[in-house]
A and B are shown apart, each in its own frame.
Chain A
Amino acid sequence: MEETRKLASSIHPGSGAWDVIIVGSGAAGGMAAFQLATAGVKVLLLEAGRMIDGQKEYRTMEWPYASLRRGRLPEGERPIAVAEYNMYDRPYGNHPEFAPYKKLMSYAGSTFTRNWVVNEKEHPTTGTPFAWVRARILGGKTNFWGRGALRYGPLEFKAASHDGYDVDWPISYEDVKPYYDRVDELLGCSGTKEGLMQVPDGIFQRPSKLNCVEVHFKRAIAKLDRHYIPGRAGVTTDGVLSKYRARCMGRGRCGRGCDLNASFHSPTALIYPARDSGHLTVRPQSIVSEVLFDEATNKAAGVRVIDGVSRDVMDFKARVVILGAGALESTRILLNSRSRRYPNGLGNSSGVLGCYLSEHLMGIGGSGYIPIRKGTAPTLDDGRPVAPYVPRFRNLTDRHPRFIRGYHFQGGGGCAEYPAMAHEIEGFGSAFKEQVREWYPAPISLGGFGEVLPRKENRVLLDPEVKDAWGIPVLRFDYRFGDNEMKMVEDMAEQIEEMLTVAGAENIQVRREPLPPGWSIHEIGTARMGEDPKTSVTDKFCRLHDVSNVYLADAAPFVSGGTQNTTWSILAMCWRTMDFLKEEMKRGDI
């Protein structure tokens, strides 16, 4: 907090001269800052949250018995749970049922993340249910992300050519591949070369191995021509050249923040090294409300900031504005940047800003017990950053009769810290204990991620009435799963059941209902890229068609999102955009 206060009060308009302003410090803002500052560009990074000291705040190794809370939040604080996203009217913040709670968080609020995830009372949303996870802290959601580091491949960039639905990205895998490679080398990515076109290989460090139940499952589903491969993790297992990061020591508690910083977290991996260049200024507690527009030049002039503590309003100026506040937040800032020329939001002459919101279907999964491990001695099965992965197998070369696009499964098995299966074992006494021990090494469970088709009508707008704690209009969601998604859901459930059956699993349980929209935390789109300014918001370098000095560094320009988790693509795409920007700056075009 000390550092936050010092930084926030020492940096104000006029206290420095900056070429570029970056909004947000997650994967997108971090990569943008790193690329520009290390190239000598003077950068001001504006982050809505406070600074973070990972050494203190990442409680990586804490045992549950260190506190009786055991994952529960203190009185007065609580996360909104699954059903509530469907049950209660938004905005939650104003809902009388939640009045007794001091703090209300999205579902990702746990004892480990509760100081990072936003309070829904301060940050409400309206419209259809959307489980929107936001972290306002240096590094954003990369402090506790799941580390699944997958590339999009040709099937994503050219999805429309493959099945005729919607449009292709205006770029191809070949355009982005060199940047994925560089991201792998800079940040470290663990995995195995598999030669699968649906999820291209990268430059990998040592993989997370499979444990016993997983090897069994892999062999079983090979009979169905399906793959089960070590998860690809945004974690350095062999080390990277960085004084801030150690290599992975297999504690398996990365989701609370990895205090060795073996896992990619934007602060240690990107922002601190960028700051060491001497060209990056970070201003925390700086909430950007809009991009300032200069009618005379048709260019952005800077951004308006509300100080999170003093609430002072300040206008920071620069030659270039880069938005990396997270796809939906960046779009919200643009929608809120209204001028005579762009009354519906900056860069929105097409009217498609806010449209084509997409993410992944989640919730369909299955579990069971692999008999070969029943009754065997426990082994260390979860000391690694990610579980294995079943890559997409639908609509690769064939054509599924009921739906287009595809899905993948993630998940593994073996001994875990908490024996969740104990809740399913009947009885009591020593016999009960013994049965828990017997099953303890045997469980396996996998969950699916399916592509939600980008659709124009799935969109966000500014709510005309409701505002957040800083007086900024909140997002109103109009987002639903469609027919293709529901057909996919059926197939996902059937296929996970079949795979577990083929593996000879006992006590198979299948979850057939999707989780509410937003659950995947993989939101993409709402400022999609394209060649035609009439149907897209940015060009193929993530720059607004309308205003040539505003760039998007996050997933807002993404056209479609495949089944792959988003972060590695954000990092690669952002690097590519920054290379383009640096060229423009060199040429003097900006």
Chain B
Amino acid sequence: MWRIGYVPEDLREQELVSVGGVTRRGALKALGAGVGGFALWPYLSDEGARAFARIQQSQAPPTLRFLTPAQYKDLDALAEAIIPADRHSPGARAARVADYIDLLLSESDEETQATWTDGLSEVDRLSRERFQASFALLNAAQTTELLTEMSKHERDPQSGLEKFFKTTKEATVRGYYTSEIGIHKELGYKGNQHLPEFVGCKTVDGEPCPHCGQKP
């Protein structure tokens, strides 16, 4: 995390985006390891964006653009396992994260698409091998078992599956925390509204601050 006002909305995102389009390998070399080498990410057209806005509002079943229904189900389950519904708030499924990824993939280059289809088929293979069922049909304990393995070296993923976990997680985080559910229900973000006055730390006004406990 490194953000200041001058760097457009999210510098990190910009770096990833650029890497998505232009001589990715060369770009990655120049960027150095660690700058999202596997978060391969496309753009979305106006039309795609409008379509998603509709999906979000209507709660309609997905209109898949790129993924097969089976791939979609696995991805949906994967995203939901990464950010699940819990007592606190709905999860990635309700935030339609898999639809978001499907739409983005429908507009990405072949190399990016292949990263995802390869990753999903490896997840499927592992799931069938171990539990004789597709990932989407696993129970909670089985899902956790696989994800625990896949996320073992999250800082420095080695295997294809480990890398795919990281790619999926980056996308899920991005999709979830920019959704209405993520911003409002999960995080309770309070900004972007008209305020007569910005109230910061109460100590600035000479009172003990109930938020941080600091004294004036």
Contacts and interface: CB of A to CB of B under 8 A. Distances in A.
A36 to B, nearest CB: 32
Interface string B157-194: 00000000000011001110111100100111111111
Interface string A276-300: 0000000000000000000000000
A212 B209 contact: yes
Contact of A255 (B5, B30, B154, B214): B5
Given A251-B193, A367-B2, A445-B2, A71 B212 contact: no
B82 A377 contact: no
A426 B169 CA distance: 10
A560 to B, nearest CB: 21
Nearest to A419: B177
B128 interface: no
Contacts, number: 273
Contact of B107 (A75, A210, A418, A446): A75
A251 to B, nearest CB: 6
Interface residues of A, number: 102
Interface string A373-395: 10011111111101100000000
A206 B204 CA distance: 13
Main secondary structure of the interface of A (DSSP, over half): loop
Given A68-B100, A146-B5, A446-B4, A215 B201 contact: yes
B46 interface: yes
Contacts of A377: 188, 211
A533 interface: no
Interface stretch (A45-53, A57-65, A465-473): A57-65
Interface residues of B, number: 87
Contact of B177 (A80, A422, A511): A422
Main secondary structure of the interface of B (DSSP, over half): loop
B81 interface: yes
Highest count of chain A CB atoms <10 Å: which of B53, B186, B212 = B212
A65 B44 contact: no
Interface string A301-330: 000000000000000000000000000000
Contact of B4 (A69, A84, A249, A447): A447
Contact of B198 (A216, A384, A441): A384
B187 A383 contact: no
Given A75-B45, A97-B23, A383 B195 contact: yes
Contacts of B193: 251, 383
Interface stretch (A398-406, A427-435, A524-532): A427-435
What are the nearest 3 A-B pairs in CB distance? A81-B18, A209-B200, A68-B52
20 contacts: A68-B49, A69-B49, A71-B9, A72-B44, A74-B43, A74-B45, A83-B18, A84-B18, A214-B201, A365-B2, A372-B213, A384-B198, A386-B5, A416-B191, A422-B177, A430-B88, A433-B86, A440-B187, A443-B1, A509-B2
Given A71-B9, A251-B193, 19 more contacts: A74-B45, A79-B18, A80-B18, A101-B21, A209-B201, A212-B200, A212-B209, A214-B200, A214-B201, A215-B212, A216-B214, A253-B192, A380-B191, A383-B195, A417-B191, A428-B81, A428-B82, A436-B177, A509-B1
